[in-house]
Amino acid sequence: MESSAPSAAVEQLPAGTADAAAEERLDRNLAPAIAELGDGVRFRRYALGALASMLLLLAAVLALNVLVDPFSLAGTKLLPPALENDRTTKLDLIDKLETNPQIVVLGSSRSRQAEPRFIEQLTGKTGFNAGVTGGSAADSWVMVRTIAARFPHARRTYIWFVDYGIATNGINPQLAEDPRASPYLGRTGVGFSLADVGTYIGFDATKASFRVLRACIEGSCHGRIRYRADGSLTAGSQRYLPERAKSLARTVGQKVEEIRHQPRQAPRLGSKRLVWFERALAWMNAHGATPVIVLNPIYPSVWRLIQRRGAARPKQALATLRRLQRRYRFVVVDCEDISRWGGKAKDFNNATHVDQQNMRRMLRYVVARSRGALG
Amino acid sequence: MLFNSYVFLFGFLPPVLVGTWALRIKSLRLLFLTLASWAFYAWWDWRFLPLMLSTTTVDYVAALAIHRTEEQRRRNLWLIGSLTVNLGLLGYFKYAGFFFGSLDGIGRALGAPVDLPALHILLPIGISFYTFNSMSYTIDVWRRRVTPTRHVLEYTTFVALFPHLIAGPIVRFADLQPQLRAPRLRLTSEAAGIGCYFLVCGLVKKLLLADQLSPHVNALFASPQQLGFVGAWAAAIGYSLQLYFDFSGYSDMAVGLAWLIGFRFPQNFNSPYKAVNPSDFWRRWHMSLSAWIRDYLFIPLGGSRRGPRRTVVNLMITMFLAGLWHGAAVTFVVWGLVHGAALGIHGVLRRAGMTPRSTLVNRVLTFAYVVAAFVIFRAPTLHVAGTILGRMVGSGGVESLGTLQALLPGRFVVLLVALLVFAQVAPNTWELRIKPRLLYGVVTGAAAAAAVASIAVPHPFIYFQF
Q: Tens digit of pLDDT for each residue in A89-144? A: 898 899 999 999 999 999 988 999 999 999 999 999 999 999 988 888 999 999 99
pLDDT at residue A235, rounded to an integer: 86
B453 contacts: CB under 8 Å, gap ≥ 6: A58, A61, A201, A202, A203, A206
Nearest-neighbour CA in chain A from B456: distance (Å):
6
pLDDT score for A17: 37
Chain B residues lying within 8 Å of A14, measured CB to CB: 279, 298, 303-304, 311, 315, 343-344, 347
**Is the CB of B435 less than 8 angstroms away from the CB of A38?**
yes
Average pLDDT over residues B132-154: 92
Cβ separation B294–A54 shorter than 8 A: no
Task: Give how far B34 is from chain A: nearest CA, Å.
Answer: 22
Give A-chain residues touching B122 at CB under 8 angstroms: 263-265
The pLDDT, as a whole number, for residue A133 is 85
Alpha-carbon separation of residue B340 from A18, B236, B243, B322, B343 (angstroms) = 20, 20, 20, 9, 5
For chain B, positions 295-314, list CB contacts with chain A under 8 A. 295, 298-299, 303-305, 311
Using the predicted structure, report yes or no on whether residue A207 has a pLDDT greater than 90. no
The tens digit of pLDDT for each residue in B97-134 reads 667 766 666 777 777 666 656 556 666 778 888 899 89
Nearest to A64 by CA among A174, A191, A206, A192: A206
How many helices (DSSP H) and strands (DSSP E) are in chain A?
A: 15, 5
What is the per-residue pLDDT across A87-96, written as a single tens digit (0 to 9) for each? Answer: 888 988 999 9
Helix (H) or strand (E) holding B150: none
Q: Give the pLDDT of residue A219.
A: 67
Q: Does the pLDDT of residue B161 top 60, yes or no? A: yes
Interface subset of B 238-257, CB within 8 angstroms of A = 255
Give the H/E segment covering residue A332: strand A331-334
Backbone dihedral region for residue B436 (phi beyond 0: left; psi -120 to 50: alpha; all else: beta)? beta
A-chain CB neighbours of B287 within 8 Å are: 6, 10, 28
pLDDT category of residue A275 using cuts at 50, 70 and 90 = confident
- In the sheet that holds A157-162, the strands lie side by side as A127-129, A103-106, A157-162, A292-295, A331-334
**More reliable by pLDDT, A12 or A249:** A249
Provide the Cα torsion A341, A346, A351, A354; round to 10°: -50
Sequence-distant (≥ 6) Cβ neighbours of residue B99 within 8 angstroms: B328
Least confident of A13-17, B228-232, B279-283: A13-17
Are B299 and A22 a contacting pair at CB < 8 A? Answer: yes
DSSP category for residue B380: S
Q: Which sign does the torsion angle of CA B89, B94, B97, B103 carry?
A: negative
Q: What's the CA gap between A159 and A368, in Å, rounded?
A: 13
Alpha-carbon dihedral of residues B110, B111, B112, B118, nearest 10 degrees? 90
Distances (CA, A) of A118 to A121, A356, B87: 5, 10, 61
Percent of chain A with pLDDT over 90: 36
The answer, yes or no, to whether residue B288 has pLDDT greater than 60, is: yes
ipTM for the whole complex = 0.80
CA distances from A240 to A58, A79, A233, A298 (A): 30, 20, 11, 22
Checking if the pLDDT of B11 tops 60, the result is yes
Arithmetic mean of pLDDT over chain A = 82
Q: For residue range A163-188, what is the model confidence (pLDDT) as tens digits? A: 888 777 777 777 776 778 878 887 55
Gap between the Cα atoms of B354 and B367, Å rounded: 19
Contact residues, chain B, for A247 at CB < 8 Å: 219, 406, 409
What whole-number distance in Å separates Cα of residue A298 and Cα of residue A362? 12
Q: Is A292 helix (H, G, I), strand (E, B) or coil?
A: strand
Q: What share of chain B is helix, strand, coil (3-state, %, to 5)?
A: 75, 0, 25
Query: At residue A90, what is the residue type?
Result: K
Distance (Å, whole) CA A74 – CA A66: 6
pLDDT tens-digit series, residues A331-344: 999 999 999 999 99
What's the pLDDT score for residue A26?
37
Q: What is the mean pLDDT of chain B?
A: 89
| Phi, then psi, of B380 in degrees rounded to 5 | -65, -30
The neighbour count for residue B74, using CB atoms within 10 Å, is 13
Mean pLDDT of B12-19: 95
Nearest CA to CA, how far is B129 from chain A (Å)?
A: 18
- Structure confidence at residue B120 (pLDDT): 60
Q: Name which of B304, B406, B431 is nearest A19 (Cβ-Cβ).
A: B304
Determine contact, residues A13/B311, Cβ cutoff 8 Å: no
Contact B453 A61 (CB under 8 A): yes
A10-14, A191-195, B407-411, range with greatest mean pLDDT: B407-411
Asked whether the beta carbons of A285 and A328 are under 8 A apart, the reply is yes
